[in-house]
Structure 1
Amino acid sequence: MEKCLAIVAADKEVLSPASRMPYYPLAVRSGHGSTVVDADGNEYLDFLASAAALNTGHAHPKVVKAVQEQAARFIHYTPAYMYHEPLVHLAQALVRITPGDFPKQVAFGLSGSDANDGAIKLARAYTGRPKIISFIRSYHGSTYGSITLSAVSLNMRRKIGPLLPEVEHIPYPDCYRCPFGQQHGSCSLECLEYVRFAFANYIPPDEVAAVIMEPIQGDAGIVVPPVEYVKGLVKLCREHGILFVSEEVQQGFGRTGRWFGIEHFDVEPDILILGKAIASGMPLSALVARKEIMQAWEAPAHLFTMGGNPVSCAAALATIEVIEEENLVERSRTLGEQAMARFRELAGRYELIGDVRGRGLSIGVDLVTSRATRERAYKEAAKVCYRAWEKGLLLSFFSNSVLRIQPPLVITDAELERGLNIIEEALADVTAGRVPDEVLETVKGW
């Protein structure tokens, strides 16, 4: 670990602590497929996929070739003033694969954060209304607009206000930790009734431009809402002239066993927010919206000197081709079902596992100190991740207690099985008290 530790020590001297939530002292040297090699030559299986940004895996040959060939032609010329073919071809591809059988247009940026900002601007421009509704425990990014939409961490908001005005937050339909104390299947969708309550009491619906929703709430711990909630919410939006925006930054591009997470709910969003896996690790984001909505704003409302970079666009086009040619959407669904079954089997043997949930290869394993109280097991989650790393698996947790299972979609059956075996071994070690508290000085997570 000598080289890794030296890099970590140097990093602490020159990098702001605001830009990292550490898990273990890993310095990446290279990666291929579902494997990462650190600076000391140690090899790890990757169950994080760079925060779900590498759905096609590390250094997929087709993506690498597309990047190299485009970089050799020209690296960039700003689309704010000029045109280039990769930008057009990618926009055409996004229009084709996104849900909604209607004319669409695309706007490009650099990250999921700026795409969330763009959705706020676009919705206000189209509707002429000021208010935006987001969800408690949502995470949307680190720009001012995306931080304002987010409501999952106090540290995101401390000392940097005031944030954007006219953004309201409502409870997300979390069936495991229901904010209304109900049980799914026997409830009356109090979460949806609360939206009606809000419209009647403190959020005038005729002033709301958009509802921005993660179809599966990611950093809150892979929270999957009931289908009837999402359909009911979209119906309410339609009744009041409110745009419905699906925030697909984490759940898009095959991650959930569908091209986009919202497709699990049989509704058509007015706007989609895309990022992370769109370009297999290259910086890129996109908004895809109904054409008439996109016509509502004017330049330079959402343009960036580096937005729609042709190298990133080439990587994104190759990414889409890889997902289609290798049937990664279906593979995500199939492998996800296998992994969920294994975790549910483990839940039968480990009281530490309170809940297993997700879609495709976007799975949350919620660790609890007590199944009765569902109290989050932060220390245990941190220890499981650290022990998994010691055994050769890159694993993280979020929401203080939820193991994040989001490997590259190209992971092999054997690799998936090996990773699941390591997690079982780590659970056994933590349950037996074989992982010391000292590791908590290194693992912070969130």
Structure 2
Amino acid sequence: MSKNKEILEEEKNHLANATRVKYFDIVIDHGKGAIITDADGREYIDLLASASATNTGHSHPKVVDAITSQAQKLIQYTPAYFANTVTAKLADRLVDIAPGNFQKQVAFGNSGSDANDAIIKFARGYTGRQYVVSFTGAYHGSTYGSLSISGVSLNMTRKIGPLLPNTVKVPFPDQTQRIAGESDDDFSERLFKQFKLPFETYLPADEVALVIIEPIQGDGGIIKAPQRYVELVYEFTREHGIVFAVDEVNQGLGRTGKMWSIDHFGIVPDLMSVGKSIASGLPLSAVIGRKEIMDSLQAPANVYTTAGNPVTAAAALATLDVIEEENLVARSRQLGELAKAFFESAAKRYAFIGDVRLYGLNGGIDIINDHGEPDNEATNKLIYRIFELGAIMISLRGNTLRFQPPLVIQEEELQRAFEILEKAFSDLASGKIALPKTDNHIGW
């Protein structure tokens, strides 16, 4: 028995099913840059970047050095009661790089989930209102507040209600749902009417605290909202005194070819959540927002023992250095153009490739059947074949390939990944791929 299978057989006796979305029988042992190695010593090109949590790649030397150095000085003393030098420096740094020419403050957490919980808290505290509006297809996290405003999987609500009250979901402007010949502006106007419908029928705007959106949805399929739509929603929040917040946990820190996904729209949010890659995958998150909003609550309304831990803060400072020094935002944009050209070319040659969406090194590629409908089985066959050939890619929404390699991936590694993808596409077209017998289903 391989080491992978041996470890998995032992683990499944103890690991709760609710804690992992299962894909392949692999146990990751170590990684470097854009390459990961499993317990059997086999290498893979990482096209997932730990769910966009390792934008700077695996075990970046500068991040490793920062973690090691800080651990030798101070691993933990809770920032809930006392400041420490490194976390104080990080707060200043985050305020500087967040959008907006106004006074801002930071609240630290441990994950994107609690950062989005905090956004709900601060918005309600500032406005004195209760209602929260989010979007279908959103993934904001798994704590009760963030889960309540998510809308990407029924298993996030099944059997665990009641959820947070006074949350309302409106349709996300998924551009793959446009009517034939419909312009972006016409589509935006049509979806904005759907956005306004609750406000016109049962939801008083003057009782709404928050509208929160992923400008480019991550787990919803890597889908960018139209410019005009985001402008209309933003203007609506300005008119009605509603806090406008963006979730940058998945799509921030250079992932989309800009530092923040909201930068594509020229709009400045009131609050912003950051997580995942902020500390190169260590447990750290932050809410960054207008000082007057952040001032609306007093401790211990958003206090966590380990939030802003010195080691994670040191990793975050090093991560931000790497993003700046290695020009990873521009690199994401440039290599993203190569990826876009590859996938668009493949779409012309393979009828099962539907919509192709690339924003930096960040893509959603829909797999469809002969009738243009989502083809989950074909998607599973593709990602499994890609795994067999030596790369890691997973799916979203059942039929969307998720393309999110580390931003440090070398061009030669990216070209090898394209060769693997091309081979998998060819094998699917030839009917050569069969799914393995496994006790694990594949995907969400």
Amino acid at match of 1:223: I
Task: Give the Cα separation in 2 of the matches to 1:142 and 1:53.
Answer: 16
Query: Alpha-carbon deviation of 1:26?
Result: 1.0
Query: Alpha-carbon deviation of 1:187?
Result: 2.7
Q: Which runs of 5+ in 1 are unaligned?
A: none
2:351 is the counterpart of 1:351: yes
Residue of structure 2 in register with 1:250 after alignment: 250
Task: Give the Cα separation in 1 of the matches to 2:438 and 2:286.
Answer: 38
Deviations 1:330-385 (A, max 9, x none): 00001111101110000000011111013111110111113xx5321111111111
Within the candidate set 406, 409, 412, 1:411 is matched to: 409
Query: Alpha-carbon deviation of 1:197?
Result: 2.5
Q: 1:443 to 1:386 in 2, by over 3 A?
A: farther
Task: Give the Cα separation in 2 of the matches to 1:418 and 1:389.
Answer: 13
Deviations 1:217-257 (A, max 9, x none): 11111111111111111011100101110100000110001
**1:209 alignment partner, SS class:** strand
Task: Give the Cα separation in 1 of the matches to 2:244 and 2:61.
Answer: 37
2:182 is the counterpart of 1:183: yes
Superposition RMSD in Å: 1.4
Query: Alpha-carbon deviation of 1:312?
Result: 0.2
Counterpart contact for 1:397–1:404, Cα < 8 Å:
yes
2:241 is the counterpart of 1:237: no
Task: Give the Cα separation in 2 of the matches to 1:343 and 1:384.
Answer: 14
Within the candidate set 361, 379, 382, 2:380 is matched to: 382
Task: Give the Cα separation in 2 of the matches to 1:85 and 1:439.
Answer: 53
Residue of structure 1 in register with 2:49 after alignment: 49
Alignment of 1:270-289 (within 5 A): 270-289=270-289
**2:349 alignment partner, SS class:** coil
Deviations 1:144-190 (A, max 9, x none): 00110111111111111100000000000011124x88834473521
**1:434 alignment partner, SS class:** coil
Query: Alpha-carbon deviation of 1:193?
Result: 1.8
Task: Give the Cα separation in 2 of the matches to 1:439 and 1:230.
Answer: 45
Residue of structure 2 in register with 1:82 after alignment: 82
Give the paired residue count.
443
Deviations 1:13-55 (A, max 9, x none): 1100001111111111110000001111111110000000000
2:109 is the counterpart of 1:109: yes
Amino acid at match of 1:82: F
Task: Give the Cα separation in 1 of the matches to 2:66 and 2:192.
Answer: 45
Query: Alpha-carbon deviation of 1:284?
Result: 0.3
Task: Give the Cα separation in 2 of the matches to 1:128 and 1:374.
Answer: 47
Residue of structure 2 in register with 1:395 after alignment: 393
**2:169 alignment partner, SS class:** strand
Counterpart contact for 2:184–2:228, Cα < 8 Å:
no
2:265 is the counterpart of 1:265: yes
Task: Give the Cα separation in 1 of the matches to 2:192 and 2:265.
Answer: 15
**Which shows bigger deviation, 45-54 or 199-208?**
199-208
TM-score, normalised relative to structure 2:
0.97
**Which shows bigger deviation, 194-203 or 243-252?**
194-203
Q: 1:63 to 1:155 in 2, by over 3 A?
A: same
Amino acid at match of 1:353: I
Amino acid at match of 1:434: K
**2:217 alignment partner, SS class:** coil
Residue of structure 1 in register with 2:145 after alignment: 145
Residue of structure 2 in register with 1:428 after alignment: 426
Task: Give the Cα separation in 2 of the matches to 1:185 and 1:91.
Answer: 38
Residue of structure 2 in register with 1:338 after alignment: 338
Alignment of 1:143-182 (within 5 A): 143-178=143-178
Q: 1:163 to 1:181 in 2, by over 3 A?
A: farther
Task: Give the Cα separation in 1 of the matches to 2:180 and 2:82.
Answer: 55
Counterpart contact for 1:382–1:443, Cα < 8 Å:
no
Task: Give the Cα separation in 2 of the matches to 1:77 and 1:121.
Answer: 25
Counterpart contact for 1:253–1:277, Cα < 8 Å:
yes
Q: Quick one: percent identity of the two aligned structures?
A: 49
Q: 1:439 to 1:405 in 2, by over 3 A?
A: farther
Residue of structure 2 in register with 1:368 after alignment: 368
**Which shows bigger deviation, 188-197 or 127-136?**
188-197
Query: Alpha-carbon deviation of 1:196?
Result: 2.4
Task: Give the Cα separation in 2 of the matches to 1:201 and 1:366.
Answer: 35
Task: Give the Cα separation in 2 of the matches to 1:223 and 1:288.
Answer: 24
Task: Give the Cα separation in 2 of the matches to 1:27 and 1:112.
Answer: 24
Task: Give the Cα separation in 2 of the matches to 1:181 and 1:86.
Answer: 53
Task: Give the Cα separation in 2 of the matches to 1:100 and 1:327.
Answer: 22
TM-score, normalised relative to structure 1:
0.97
Task: Give the Cα separation in 2 of the matches to 1:430 and 1:104.
Answer: 51
2:193 is the counterpart of 1:193: yes
Deviations 1:315-340 (A, max 9, x none): 00000000000000000001111101
**Which shows bigger deviation, 42-51 or 423-432?**
423-432
**2:101 alignment partner, SS class:** coil
Task: Give the Cα separation in 2 of the matches to 1:408 and 1:44.
Answer: 13
Counterpart contact for 1:382–1:440, Cα < 8 Å:
no
**1:176 alignment partner, SS class:** helix
Query: Alpha-carbon deviation of 1:433?
Result: 1.4
Counterpart contact for 2:384–2:435, Cα < 8 Å:
no
Residue of structure 1 in register with 2:39 after alignment: 39
Query: Alpha-carbon deviation of 1:444?
Result: 1.4
Task: Give the Cα separation in 2 of the matches to 1:411 and 1:202.
Answer: 49
**1:13 alignment partner, SS class:** coil
Counterpart contact for 1:224–1:358, Cα < 8 Å:
no
2:237 is the counterpart of 1:206: no
**2:423 alignment partner, SS class:** helix
Amino acid at match of 2:186: C
Q: 1:383 to 1:440 in 2, by over 3 A?
A: farther
Task: Give the Cα separation in 2 of the matches to 1:118 and 1:51.
Answer: 22
Q: Which runs of 5+ in 2 are unaligned?
A: none
Residue of structure 1 in register with 2:218 after alignment: 218
Amino acid at match of 1:5: K
Amino acid at match of 2:428: V
Query: Alpha-carbon deviation of 1:282?
Result: 0.6
